[in-house]
Amino acid sequence: MHTHRERPLDSALGSALLLSLVILVVEVVAGLAAHSLALLADAGHIVTDVAALGLAWAALRFARRPVNARRSYGYHRAGVLAGMVNGGTLALVVLGIAYEASRRLLHPQPVQGPIVIGAALLAVAANAFIALRLRGAGHSLNIRAALLHVVGDLAASVGVVVAGLVIVLTGWLYADPLLSLAIAGLIAWSAVRIMYETYNILMEGVPRHLDLPAVQAELAATPGVVSSHDVHVWGLDSDQVAFSCHLVVEEQGLSEAEHVMRTVETMLCDRYGIGHTTIQVEYCHPCAQEAGHGAGQHNHPHAATV
């Protein structure tokens, strides 16, 4: 069952994606008309926004699809796979911009400054509007990542306006390729972050915002818990986090042990945003060999579970 909060979030992402596509088309057309590599490079940076917004929107839509016999976790990682493809595509965009900027540094070309300024100002206004909408749409990692992309492009568009003013006022044509190289650096940084995040998710690594030792310390501090082992935390996508562990509790009745487990689940959800938990409760201490190895052990052969 989905909450009513998802509808404005869906609307905000959809309108932001559509507006980014409009800006992309405007900047490509204006960049070709003005012979401005900086404007075309900014359009390339908007591609990163389109990718980020598209992934966020797709993740929201795919997350609504029900699980089935072949997809027990649903379709959360469809956006992750798309992110890996987009990261590779952005690397090609960076190479293309860097090559053309190098050529223009050697052989400067005339640039129509007024067209550059007009298109860039339009991009500034549109990106500011998108940022304000996303800022009020939610606080998930997915949305925050998309918002960072938009803010980065807002800064790049402001830079294009400055480059256009420099060309109009001084006629210094090197401002265009130099700014293009700076924007290419921003795109490269975005591509690296996207590729690293998808790599970490596919390798089932601990999400960047979580501190595993801190989580284990919280487990140990829970009343009724003796120790924990086989502790694993991984991301299903950039927003959904899963957790599993073996929890050794004090010897007590079945209902009391289940109460301890529910307390741990509530703590994980409230403090760390972990919504998928699998906890095996044991009434005995792990053997010395198991305790020495930490996470990733086999079950204790004599553990009683809830």
Q: With contact defined as beta carbons under 8 Å apart, do 145 and 186 qualify?
A: no
Q: Rg of the chain over CA atoms, in angstroms? A: 25
Average pLDDT over residues 194-209: 87
The pLDDT tens digits of the residues spanning 202-230 come to: 898 999 889 999 999 999 999 999 889 89
Q: Give 67: exposed, middle or buried? Use CB within 10 Å, 0-12, 13-18, 19+.
A: exposed
Q: What are phi and psi of 241, to 5 degrees?
A: -115, 140
The per-type count for the chain, helices as H runs and strands as E runs, is 9, 3
Label each residue of 33-55 as H, E or C: HHCCHHHHHHHHHHHHHHHHHHH
Shared domain for 82 and 146, answered yes or no, is yes
Shared domain for 61 and 169, answered yes or no, is yes
Q: Is residue 181 pLDDT above 80, yes or no?
A: yes
pLDDT of residue 244: 94
The pLDDT tens digits of the residues spanning 132-144 come to: 888 766 555 556 6
Residue 303 in any domain: the answer is: no
N- to C-terminal Cα separation, the chain: 27
Cα separation, 23 vs 300, whole angstroms:
59
Shared domain for 188 and 220, answered yes or no, is no
Residue type, position 267, single letter: M
Q: What are phi and psi of 145, to 5 degrees?
A: -65, -45
Q: Is residue 287 pLDDT above 80, yes or no?
A: no
Shared domain for 12 and 138, answered yes or no, is yes
CATH number at residue 261: 3.30.70.1350
Structure tokens at 137: 């749409």
Q: With contact defined as beta carbons under 8 Å apart, do 24 and 46 qualify?
A: yes
Locate tokens 């760390």: which residue? 272
Residue 306 in any domain: the answer is: no
Residue 304 in any domain: the answer is: no
Shared domain for 142 and 23, answered yes or no, is yes
Q: Which domain holds residue 227?
A: 212-293
Of the pLDDT bands very low, low, confident and very high (cuts 50, 70, 90), residue 289 is very low
The pLDDT tens digits of the residues spanning 42-83 come to: 888 888 778 777 777 776 776 677 777 787 777 767 767 767
Residue 125 in any domain: the answer is: yes
User: The pTM is what?
Assistant: 0.68
How many domains are contained in the chain? 2
pLDDT of residue 136: 67
Average pLDDT over residues 150-175: 88
Cα separation, 88 vs 230, whole angstroms:
35
Q: Give 69: exposed, middle or buried? Use CB within 10 Å, 0-12, 13-18, 19+.
A: exposed
Q: What is the residue-wise DSSP string for 211-268? A: -HHHHHHHHHHSTTEEEEEEEEEEESSSS-EEEEEEEEE-S--HHHHHHHHHHHHHHH
Letter string b/e over residues 25-55, b meaning 16 or more CB atoms within 10 A of that residue's CB? ebbbebbeebbbbbbbbbbbbbbbbbbbbbb
Shared domain for 186 and 57, answered yes or no, is yes
CATH number at residue 46: 1.20.1510.10
CB atoms within 10 A of CB 95: 12
Residue 273 in any domain: the answer is: yes
Shared domain for 190 and 283, answered yes or no, is no
Shared domain for 145 and 46, answered yes or no, is yes
Cα separation, 130 vs 16, whole angstroms:
5
3-class secondary-structure state, position 277: strand
The domain boundary, picked from 170, 202, 234, lies at 202
